[in-house]
Amino acid sequence: MGNGTSRGRPPGRIAAAVGASVLTAGLVTACGSEEGITLNLYYAPEDTFQTVVDNCNAKAAGRYNIVYNKLQRGADDQRVQMARRLAAGDDGLDILGLDVTWVPEFAEAGWAEEWTGTNREQAEAGVLPGPLATATWNGKLYAATKNTNVQLLWYDDRITPQPPATWDEMIAEAEQLKAAGKPHNILFTGAQYEGLVVIYNTLVASAGGHILSDDGKSVVMDEGAVQALEILKRVTSSGITDPSLTNMKEDETRQAFQRGNGAFELNWPFVYASYAEEQPQDLPHFKWSTYPAVDPGVPARTTIGGYDLAVSSTSKHKPEAFEAALCLRSQESQKFSALNDGVPPSIEALYTDETPLDPTKPVNADDNPSMATAYPMRDAIFAALKDPAVRPLTPAYQSLSTVISKVLSPPSEIDPQKTAEELRTKLTDALNSKGVIP
C-alpha cells in the first residue's frame, strides 16, 4: 500500500489524474446535510478520492456526511496516528484506512469492528481471494477491501525483446548485457524498509517457502525462505544492481530505470503512468510482465499491497459507518479510483470491464478512459493477483517487518544459512515481545 512505501504504491498519484471531473458533474449534487451525522474517515492522501467521498455523501442524501481526513503520506505515520488515538478511546474516528498489513493488529487490539451479516456479504462479493485475505483475521472479516496492488517486471524491449521467465534467466541476461556494455542493472527497492521486505516475501512465496506458520504464531523460515536469501545474495553481489541499491525506494527505482540505468525494474504499476507522462516518446518500448519465477514452470507469487477500510470500534455511528465504507469501496468507486488514481481494484469483474468512465460518451484515453486504456497491463496484474503472496498475517507484523529489513540490510552481505538463523531468533523474539526492535 502503500504511500511512498512498498505497502502497495503511493496513493498520492504520481501521474496525471485522468478525467477526474468526468463523473463528478453527473454524480455529485450535494455534500451531505449539515444537520446529519458526521462520519470521520481517516485515510491516506489520494488525489481524487474526495470525489468518491462527495459521491457517497450525495447518495446518503443528508443522512450522514463523510469528512475525509487525510493522513500523512508515510504509512508508519498513518498507523501511529490512528493507533495512538484509538488506544486512548477517541470516538472521533469512524472509518479507518488500513494498510493491508495492519488488519490483524487493529482487530486483535479491539480497534476494528467485525463485519457480519449483509455488511460482510456485500464486502466480500466479487472480491479476489488474495486481497480478501488481507481483510480477514482468525476467520473473521474486520475490513472491506478498498484496492489492491501488485508489482510487475518492467523492461525496455529495445534492450531485452522478451522478459525473462525466471530469476536465473534474468540474472544471466543482466550479466550478458553488462559484458556487452549495455544497460544491465536489475532495479528494485533495496533500501532498509518495507520495500525490501516485499521483495523478500515474494521470493520466499515463489520458492514455496514460509516465514511464519499459517496461523502467524510461530517462525518457520524453511528451505524456501533460505533459497530466497540465496537469490537476494546472488543478485546483489554480482555487479548487476544499481550502486545506490541500499538507498532505493519505489520512486528512486523508477527514476533509475527512466534514466536508462537498468534493464529490468521490479515495481508497482504506478511507474507506467509516470513513464507515459515523462517519456511519452519511448512509451511504446516500455513493456511489462509478471514477476520472474524462482523455479522454472512454477509461476511467481507476488506480494500484494493496497488498502482496506475498517469501522472503528469507538465510532458512535457504526451502522452509518459500515454503509459509508461499503459505498467508498463499491465497484463504482473502485473503478473511479482505478482510472483516476491508478490504484488497482480488488473486485475481479473490473479487470474485464470495458465501459469507459462516462458510459454515455465514447472511450478516449485522455478524458474518458476505460480500464483497457488506463490499464494496458491489466491482464498481467490480474494474472499476478490470481495466486499472490500475502505478507505474514500477525498482529506483530510491524515489528517483524522492522526486524526483517534490518537483518537483510545490506542484501549483499547476506550469508543465507547464518542470516536465516538470525531471522529465526529475532523474529521469534519479536513475536513474543522480547528483545529490542531495531
**58-77 per-position pLDDT tens digit:** 999 999 999 999 999 888 89
The three grid cell numbers given for residue 68, joined into one nine-digit string = 475525509
Closest C-alpha to 19, from 413, 371, 429, 364: 364
Q: Would you state the pLDDT for residue 76?
A: 85
Mean pLDDT value across the chain: 92
- Please give the Cα distance from 206 to 150 (Å, whole number): 14
State residue 154 phi and psi, 5-degree precision: -110, 145
The three grid cell numbers given for residue 270, joined into one nine-digit string = 504506478
pLDDT band at 7 (very low <50, low <70, confident <90, very high): low
Q: Would you state the pLDDT for residue 434?
A: 78
pLDDT at 13 over 50: no
pLDDT band at 414 (very low <50, low <70, confident <90, very high): very high
Q: How many helices (H) and strands (E) does the chain have?
A: 17, 11
Mean pLDDT of 96-112: 97
Identify the helix (H) or strand (E) that includes residue 102.
none
Q: Would you state the pLDDT for residue 41?
A: 98
Q: Which residues of 189-225 are buried (b: 16+ CB within 10 A; e: fewer)?
A: bbbbbbbbbbbbbbbbbbbebbbbeeebeebbbeebb
Lowest mean pLDDT among 75-84, 149-158, 278-287: 75-84
Q: Would you state the pLDDT for residue 73?
A: 86
- Please give the Cα distance from 146 to 136 (Å, whole number): 14
Closest C-alpha to 292, from 167, 376, 156, 115: 167
Instruction: Dihedral sign for Cα 400, 403, 406, 408, please.
Output: negative
Give first-to-last CA distance, the chain, whole Å: 22
pLDDT band at 433 (very low <50, low <70, confident <90, very high): confident
**332-390 per-position pLDDT tens digit:** 999 999 999 889 999 999 999 999 999 999 999 889 999 999 889 999 999 999 999 99
- Please give the Cα distance from 153 to 141 (Å, whole number): 32
- Please give the Cα distance from 57 to 60 (Å, whole number): 5
Classify strands 64-70 and 304-311 as parallel, antiparallel or unpaired: unpaired
- Please give the Cα distance from 99 to 120 (Å, whole number): 19
Mean pLDDT of 174-187: 98
pLDDT band at 35 (very low <50, low <70, confident <90, very high): low
224, 208 Cβ separation under 8 angstroms: yes
438, 418 Cβ separation under 8 angstroms: no
State residue 155 phi and psi, 5-degree precision: -155, 165
pLDDT at 284 over 80: yes
